[in-house]
Amino acid sequence: MRKMFLAAFVISLAMSAGTINALAQDAAADHTAPSYDLKAQSLQDLEGVQKKMVALANAVPADKLTWRPSPDSRSFAEVFLHVSGERYQILALMGTPQPAGFDGKTYEKSTTDRAQIVEELNKSWEFTKTAINGMTNADFAKLLPKLGPQANAGDVIYILVADAHEHLGQSIAYARENGIVPPWTIEAQKRAAEKKDQK
């Protein structure tokens, strides 16, 4: 009886191992499309940040573009140009060539003129859209060993999105510190007031 139980146990264990192995092979051979489209989502997120950055750059009074919260912090103008310049520098991590004449060391301090700042934001956004739209799904998975053992081009795009949101938050904090209400907040407040009036 004992031998029969032991034999049944061994057979059962072998079958379980075979099932686990088959499941593991099936998982490794999964060729279904990813449920999250990083390309489309990153473009949408970055476009939202771009619109807000340009709106904020246009809302800041000209005499406040050189304002900075402390001597060792970036000014409004420098933050806007930093966002613009980092698009070139971050995308370069995956091999995207930077525009001719771009100098990351001097770019942030290159101007305090609002029109030029907005133009630079728009130029770098067009550059970014072109770079990301030119990527295939396979490009997103392309390994970049110099950035880390498992790093890939998709990680670079993720860094770009996260960095853009970080500096948008910084710009909003600067604006609030100077009594500047972001234009999209004004629009939301106006819509809310209109809805309230309609009730």
Residue 3 has pLDDT above 90, yes or no: no
| Direct distance between the N- and C-terminal alpha carbons of the chain, in angstroms, rounded to an integer | 82
CA–CA distance, 30 with 18 (Å, rounded to integer): 18
Phi, psi of 182 (to 5 degrees): -55, 140
Task: Give the tens place of pLDDT for each residue, 41-97.
Answer: 999 999 999 999 999 999 999 999 999 999 999 999 999 999 999 999 999 999 999
Mean pLDDT of 158-167: 97
Packed helices 76-92 and 153-177: angle between N→C axes, nearest 10 degrees: 180
Mean pLDDT of 117-142: 96
Distance from CA of residue 164 to its chain's centroid?
6
CA–CA distance, 89 with 100 (Å, rounded to integer): 13
Phi, psi of 6 (to 5 degrees): -65, -40
If we measure between CA atoms, which residue out of 50, 34, 48, 52 comes closest to residue 154?
34
